[in-house]
Chains A and B, each alone.
Chain A
Amino acid sequence: MTPEPKTKQLIRPMSPTWWLEKPAYTNFMIRDFTSVFIAAYCIFLMVVLCKAMHSDAASFQAFYASWGSGFSKTLHLIALIFAAYHSITFFNLTPRVIVVFKGEEKVPESTIALAHYGLWAVVSLVIIVIGLWV
């Protein structure tokens, strides 16, 4: 435990709007809150898919048709934008977490980031191909 101060001191509490004081803090809050949306979307997706898979053919057709609604398209577009935003912020931060040395030299951050973006592109392409094929 931190020792108790022996002299009088001034405590300055953080303002409730601290996250509006700097663009970096605001960006952090946007990152955090959009991740809540992504998590909620993932749970929602899993639940509806489980329900659909355990229903009869007619109910599944009705469920499938509901995905074409304007609301569903908007929801998925928002989810796609947020997911892309999180992928980009994640890949941009990755080189600071995965540090690779070649002898005394650090492998450049750009190399690590580009490798991740490359892998992302390949995996996305594979998913698109599978989606079109199926």
Chain B
Amino acid sequence: MSKTITLEVFRYQPDQSDEPRFQSYTVPYREDWVVLDALNYIKDQLDGTLSYRWSCRMGVCGSCGMMVNGTPKLTCAAFLKDYYPKPVKVEPLTNFPVLRDLVVNIDDFMHKMKEVKTWLIPKKELPMAGSGEYLQKPEELAQYKQFSMCINCMLCYAACPVYGMEPEFIGPAAIALAQRYNLDSRDGAKDERAEVIFSGEGIWECTFVGECSVVCPKKVDPAGAIQQAKVQATKEWWLGWIMPKAK
């Protein structure tokens, strides 16, 4: 008889009930299957009503983040063999409102990314009417490369108790991405971001629990990025105080 594994899946169907519940599914166990493969099996073979997000299946798009046995994971990178033979509990990312089953509302995160301006705002216009290149040395790239690996999967928000308690907190990924652009030699919008990042809802909310960096599938270390921004903000505050004209 072929091996099987049980998935206990969080279900929330607001059109049927206001109360969430868990539903058990037994799926074939294969060593090369990840939790996402098991969810796809359920969707295709057992229960077409199950809703969840996914896209690339290779840890790049950041859409399939869920709680797997209580830990935020990319389900495309969470192998069933690491849980077998015990059942696997799959829930939507914590700290986010649930829209349906495993689908969370990411509006707050998207709004924060916009607030922090997580895109390159060039220091100067391109030469030759926009057709030139923004040159950068390898050592300048090295300064921010680690933070540029963020795939916006939001696992760090699900791991952050501060965000859970204070939803106004800008949060790990948005601050790490702000730091990514602030450290980019081509960018010139550090002061525009400072208003949000250095505010009470920004870096100073963080108490360095550090779990955001532990769960990050891309080793971005958002906790480190936040503490680095704190040092930078403190340095700038003191400099502005000692040498007000230097700014």
Contact = CB atoms under 8 A, between A and B. Distances in A.
Contact of A2 (B12, B20, B108, B228): B108
Contacts of B210: 24, 28, 93
B32 interface: no
A7 B100 CA distance: 10
B28 interface: no
Contacts of B223: 96
Given A7-B99, A10-B14, A101 B105 contact: no
Contact of A32 (B99, B167, B207): B207
Contacts, number: 80
Q: How large is the interface on A (under 10, 10 to 19, 20 to 34, 35 or more residues)?
A: 20 to 34
A10 B12 contact: yes
Q: Is the interface of B mostly helix, strand, loop or mixed?
A: helix
A104 B97 CA distance: 41
Contact of A104 (B139, B164, B227, B231): B139
B111 to A, nearest CB: 5
A19 B160 CA distance: 11
A5 B221 CA distance: 30
A12 B204 CA distance: 25
Interface string B98-128: 1100000101100110000000000000000
Contacts of B161: 14, 18-19, 25, 28
A96 B98 contact: no
Contacts of B94: 12
A10 B91 CA distance: 13
User: Which 4 pairs from chain A and chain B are nearest by CB?
Assistant: A96-B224, A9-B97, A10-B98, A97-B227
Interface of B: 12, 14, 18, 20, 70, 94-95, 97-99, 105, 107-108, 111-112, 138-139, 141-143, 161, 164-165, 167, 207-211, 213-214, 221, 223-224, 227-228, 230-231
